[in-house]
Structure 1
Amino acid sequence: MPILLIFLFALTGLAGCEDKTPEAKATRAPVQVGVENLRPQSVLLTTELPGRTAASLVADVRPQVDGIIRERLFREGSEVKAGDVLYRIEPSSYRAAYDSAVAALKKAQAALPSSENKAQRYSELIKDKAISSQDYEDARAIYESDRAAVAAAAAEVERARINLAYTEIKAPISGRIEKSALTPGALVTANQSFPLTTIRRLDPINVDMTQSSTSLLNLRQAIASGRIHVTGTTMAVKLKLDNGTLYSYSGSLEFSETKVDEGTGTFTVRAEFPNPNRLLLPGMYVRAVIEEGVVDNCYLVPQRAVSRNTKGEPVALFVNKDNKIEQRVLSISRNVGNSWLVESGIQAGDKLVVEGSQFVGIGQAVTTKEMVVDDATGSVKPVEDATPAQTAPAGAEG
């Protein structure tokens, strides 16, 4: 009985063994992989740079004459216009100096007609030699002296008028005014070191960014060679705020520094943005997305489909015309979103394996199912399950 049981178990085990012969493998169904049909497209290249917002104009308000502040005429944190009176300094002494200068001018002007008439009379008498040359020269000297006195008195009147006008401290620019450093009753001096307040112009507002010199060289060489073409005379710029939202207004690139920092190898780029709602304040951290140009007839390969070989080269799997897996080395120039930008080595209609690559080997026969890759998230969906926005050709932004 024990020998019979052992024989029966052995037969059962042989019957359950898997057939691993080549004939059995040949009859196994091919593995299905998800593929994306690659098509050439025009891609807008962008560069994302960190930056800080800065007021387009900044003016420190300081007194230009000495005196006591009599009143403050603005509300702290409000908008002011250029020419608005912000402070009044006690004007009594400056008004008295002005009146005195006006009186001195009138006195000088009163003496001028007499010396002028005398000089004219003497100019006629000297022709007939009725007077000496010395008398004529003395009369002319007195006349010229009186004229100079009138001019000096007029200049003194102007200086007194300017000082009197400086008792009203006005806004040099339009913008948002900060808190006041002093209150009425405080003593101020001309051109003191600390400002009374500061005005910042917030609309438009600037964004200062730093970019590496290497990126600038690559961009200029690509534009010069024709691989990238730029539309318009300025580059459009968009902003990503610190909370991740996109700023509703687009800006323009204004200028870039002509000198590269020797320590960091970077230079400063400035963009200007409208700021009608005063949403952006100076000193805020932002990320600027600069539109560099457009590349035509290129391909976007999802990053999830690219790996590295033993040499460190980027490679991807494709399904050829015989429905077999082949591997290609790609020439990648840069990333665009969650994809790699490939400018050569791919032809229209190539089937890129985007799902199931870990289950197949090079030369293996497969079946395919067309998929679409969401560039924003990197997720893969069948074409029939994708939304129209996902199935539309990419290339609007990088």
Structure 2
Amino acid sequence: MVFGIQFTPRSLMPVFALLAAIFAVSGCDDQPQAALERPAVTVNVLRAEAHAVPIGGLYPGRAMGSKEVQIRARVEGILLRRTYTEGQAVKAGQLLFQIDSAPFQVALNRSKAQLAQANAGLSAAARRWERAGELIKTNAISRRERDDAESDLNFAKAAVQLAEAEVEAAQINLDYTQVRAPIAGMTSREQLSEGSLVGPGNSLLTEITQLDPILVNVSLPDKLMLSIRRMIERGEVEFAEGKREVEIILGPDDTYPYLGHVDFTESAIDKMTGTVQLRATVPNPDSSLLPGQFLRVRLHGLVSLRSIVVPARAIMQSAQGIYVYRVDKDNRAEIVNVTLGLESEEGVIIESGLSVADLVVVDGVSRVQAGTLLAPTEIVAEGSADALTVEGKAQ
């Protein structure tokens, strides 16, 4: 008995579908790898250039009065009254306190009377000396009597000088009963009230602070200061001629309108804070800066010569160190480890790692990895509307 298998078009359809799937899978292995690569990432790049760069950076500072004077009583007596308003500005020489002057007036009068008595004694001694000079010519008196007359005259002269000094001292003490402001400035609160007994032992009455100009103490990290000094010695950094200025930053988008001038640099490092102190004198005509106020200070006038600078946003950091992305000859991103220098007004100075004419990725860094294909757009300067598109491969 012969058995036959009969194939119909419907029964062959699963077989054809299986064969088509196998050929399709094998055909995928022949597609070029380049067709799977991601499109180029658009980034902004900046060409590294060596040029003179103003060194900036913000550093902490604190304001203090250019003169801070303690007002003290210099004689003992009862404080009769205060003649100024606490917390208000006073002028130099203005009367602040009045101490009871009656005892000192009496002492002055007594000293003047003693001076008058000394002058009378001097007149009598002078007359005796004059007569002795005439009598000694005729030998009417002895030489000893003449010498005694001369001694009396000298003693009387010394007595007058002593009395004059006593009058001057009494007048000074009387003047001290009027306590006057030695400088112009802002007063603090009264330390002792009227009716108190004041004197050299408890003499602090108030304080005056001169606000114009005002001083600002700036704290620079010791490593930064030492680095600047070494760079100055190597000729890499210099101060702009006639400029050692500071700019005061009060807050976001709030800059103080007057520049200050650095007039003192501490020669030692503070052991407690590890900082070096600079002092700047700042005009303060409207008293808008107050002693004790915390400020942010930007240095002006310090210039780094022949430096490569990149914006801070272009700098990345990982466990392997600090790096930037550089565009290679194939328009791909490569990681370049860099050594950072001082901060400048344009960004951060790169001490090593980059060369002149290198293209550094500054915008779009977060979308870039090592080897990423890039579509770079070179920007002339940060924020500039004029940008040049790099066509083809980066040079």
State the Cα distance separating 1:44 from its structure 2 match.
0.7
Question: Aligned letter for 1:249?
Answer: Y
Distance 2:372 2:31 in 1: 14
Please name the residue that 2:179 is paired with: 169
Please name the residue that 2:266 is paired with: 257
Distance 2:99 2:353 in 1: 76
Please point out which of 276, 298, 309 is paired with 1:300.
Answer: 309
Change (3 A) 1:246 1:356: closer
Please point out which of 181, 189, 196 is paired with 1:187.
Answer: 196
Give 1 or 2 for the bigger CA radius of gyration. 2
Distance 1:126 1:206 in 2: 73
Greater displacement, 293-302 / 333-342: 333-342
SS in 1 for 2:32: helix
Change (3 A) 1:303 1:266: closer
Question: Aligned letter for 2:266?
Answer: E
1:159-184 CA distance string (max 9 Å, x none): 11111111111111110111222333
Change (3 A) 1:346 1:200: same
Structure 2 contact 57–344 (Cα < 8 Å) conserved:
no
State the Cα distance separating 1:8 from its structure 2 match.
3.8
Question: Aligned letter for 1:48?
Answer: L
SS in 2 for 1:352: strand
Please name the residue that 1:198 is paired with: 207
State the Cα distance separating 1:204 from its structure 2 match.
0.7
State the Cα distance separating 1:313 from its structure 2 match.
5.5
Distance 1:131 1:75 in 2: 72
Distance 1:262 1:354 in 2: 39
Distance 2:67 2:386 in 1: 42
Please name the residue that 1:52 is paired with: 62
Question: Aligned letter for 2:279?
Answer: R
Distance 2:185 2:286 in 1: 13
Change (3 A) 1:234 1:348: closer
Please point out which of 344, 366, 376 is paired with 1:368.
Answer: 376
Please name the residue that 2:237 is paired with: 228
Distance 1:292 1:13 in 2: 75
Greater displacement, 257-266 / 231-240: 257-266
Please name the residue that 2:321 is paired with: 312
Q: Please state if 1:135 is matched with 2:145.
A: yes
SS in 2 for 1:150: helix
1:105-141 CA distance string (max 9 Å, x none): 1122122222112112213433443211221122122
RMSD (Å), alpha carbons? 3.4
Please name the residue that 2:3 is paired with: none
Structure 1 contact 47–292 (Cα < 8 Å) conserved:
no
Percent identity between the aligned chains? 29
Q: Please state if 1:283 is matched with 2:292.
A: yes
Greater displacement, 12-21 / 252-261: 12-21
Structure 1 contact 54–281 (Cα < 8 Å) conserved:
yes
SS in 2 for 1:126: helix
Please name the residue that 1:217 is paired with: 226
Change (3 A) 1:127 1:274: same
Question: Aligned letter for 2:288?
Answer: L
Please point out which of 340, 355, 371 is paired with 1:332.
Answer: 340
Under a length normalisation based on structure 1, what TM-score does the superposition of the two structures give?
A: 0.82
Please name the residue that 1:269 is paired with: 278
Question: Aligned letter for 2:261?
Answer: S
Please name the residue that 1:239 is paired with: 248
Distance 2:387 2:109 in 1: 80
Greater displacement, 61-70 / 301-310: 301-310
Equivalenced residue count is 378
Distance 1:304 1:110 in 2: 92
Distance 1:327 1:68 in 2: 80
Please name the residue that 2:168 is paired with: 158
Distance 1:195 1:46 in 2: 43
Please name the residue that 2:72 is paired with: 62
Structure 1 contact 297–343 (Cα < 8 Å) conserved:
no
**Structure 1: tracts of 5 or more residues without a match:** 375-385, 392-398
Please name the residue that 2:111 is paired with: 101
Distance 1:61 1:10 in 2: 107
Once the two structures are superposed, the pairs formed by residues 5-154 of structure 1 within 5 Å of their partners are: 8=17, 11=20, 19=28, 21=30, 23=32, 25=34, 30-40=39-49, 41-154=51-164
Please point out which of 342, 346, 350 is paired with 2:350.
Answer: 342
Greater displacement, 262-271 / 308-317: 308-317
State the Cα distance separating 1:263 from its structure 2 match.
4.6
- Stretches of 4+ aligned residues off by more than 6 angstroms: 358-361
**Structure 2: tracts of 5 or more residues without a match:** 1-9, 389-395
